[in-house]
């Protein structure tokens, strides 16, 4: 359990180092957001372990839920091309912030902010699926996994979909210490998977530098059309 916790924190640290090494490939603003999220995640891990911050666990988790949701949703906002999706995201974000504020004000003594975490998880899952739907509708001929955004969104989706029911169960059921430990163990494991997927995104070259399958056929089509016009 401890090993998994340390590995999870180390994976976040490695991810930050990875981003710094490959910073030239990740100049886009949306990857900065993910980098800042990873930084906050590492800081939270450190703070939670320090005993003097133990009484403030609820506020730390709530704050981190806010950071996590804001980072993922801002990343998706920058990635979406459809204006209607952007507006939907902004609207849902405003509603989420209102719920969050209510939760903090009315339940300050809770151990874990399961309500806001669950809502945040559900919203991120919906927005991630919307992203994939938008990608499928797009008629460009690059493979979906050649884009860096795909890996980030896959990481977000896998992380939030796995932790959604974990956070719901922590809040709804009275779990024993062993059960709670298993929940956090799973959370740490999924965190490592998420960091691996983020790492792949940071490592990948931007899609314009990768050979698109259709480039060669597009060139020959253009060449044929030009020769054709000349002969006419």
Site of interaction with another protein (CB under 8 A)? 129, 132, 135-136, 139, 141, 143-145, 154, 157-158, 161-162, 164-165, 190, 213-214, 217-218, 220-221, 224-225, 227-229, 231-232
- Whole-angstrom CA distances from 212 to 92, 108, 205, 219 are 36, 53, 13, 12
**Closer CB to another protein, 33 or 166, in the complex:** 166
**Closer CB to another protein, 205 or 227, in the complex:** 227
**Closer CB to another protein, 137 or 177, in the complex:** 137
Please state the closest distance from residue 179 (CB atom) to another protein, in A.
Answer: 18
Please state the closest distance from residue 107 (CB atom) to another protein, in A.
Answer: 26
92-120: buried (b, 16+ CB within 10 Å) or exposed (e) per residue?
bbeebeeebeebbeeeeebebbbbbbbbb
Please state the closest distance from residue 170 (CB atom) to another protein, in A.
Answer: 15
Asked whether the beta carbons of 112 and 170 are under 8 A apart, the reply is yes
Dist. CA 167–CA 170, nearest whole Å: 5
Compute how many other C-beta atoms are within 10 angstroms of the C-beta atom of residue 152.
26
Please state the closest distance from residue 64 (CB atom) to another protein, in A.
Answer: 21
- Whole-angstrom CA distances from 174 to 177, 178, 180 are 10, 12, 9
**Closer CB to another protein, 111 or 219, in the complex:** 219
51-69: buried (b, 16+ CB within 10 Å) or exposed (e) per residue?
eeeeeeebebbbbbbbbbb
**Closer CB to another protein, 62 or 163, in the complex:** 163
- Whole-angstrom CA distances from 114 to 86, 121, 149, 158 are 26, 10, 28, 18
Asked whether the beta carbons of 197 and 151 are under 8 A apart, the reply is yes
Please state the closest distance from residue 56 (CB atom) to another protein, in A.
Answer: 30
Please state the closest distance from residue 20 (CB atom) to another protein, in A.
Answer: 28
**Closer CB to another protein, 47 or 175, in the complex:** 175
């Amino acid at each position: 359990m401890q090993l998994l916790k340390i590995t999870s924190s180390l994976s976040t640290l490695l991810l930050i180092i990875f981003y710094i090494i490959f910073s030239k490939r990740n100049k886009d603003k949306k990857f900065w957001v993910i980098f800042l999220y990873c930084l906050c995640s590492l800081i939270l891990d450190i703070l939670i372990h320090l005993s003097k911050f133990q009484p403030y666990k609820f506020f730390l988790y709530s704050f981190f839920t806010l950071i996590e949701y804001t980072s993922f949703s801002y990343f998706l906002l920058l990635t979406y091309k459809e204006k209607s999706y952007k507006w939907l995201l902004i609207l849902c974000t405003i509603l989420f912030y209102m719920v969050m504020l209510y939760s903090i004000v009315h339940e300050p003594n809770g151990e874990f902010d399961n309500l806001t975490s669950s809502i945040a998880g559900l919203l991120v899952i919906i927005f991630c699926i919307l992203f994939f739907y938008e990608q499928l509708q797009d008629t460009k001929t690059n493979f979906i996994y050649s884009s860096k955004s795909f890996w980030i969104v896959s990481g977000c989706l896998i992380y939030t979909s796995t932790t959604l029911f974990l956070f719901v169960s922590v809040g709804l059921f009275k779990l024993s210490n062993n059960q709670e430990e298993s929940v956090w163990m799973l959370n740490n494991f999924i965190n490592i998977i998420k960091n691996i997927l983020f790492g792949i995104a940071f490592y990948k070259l931007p899609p314009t530098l990768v050979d698109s399958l259709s480039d060669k056929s597009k060139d020959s089509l253009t060449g044929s059309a030009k020769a054709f016009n000349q002969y006419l």
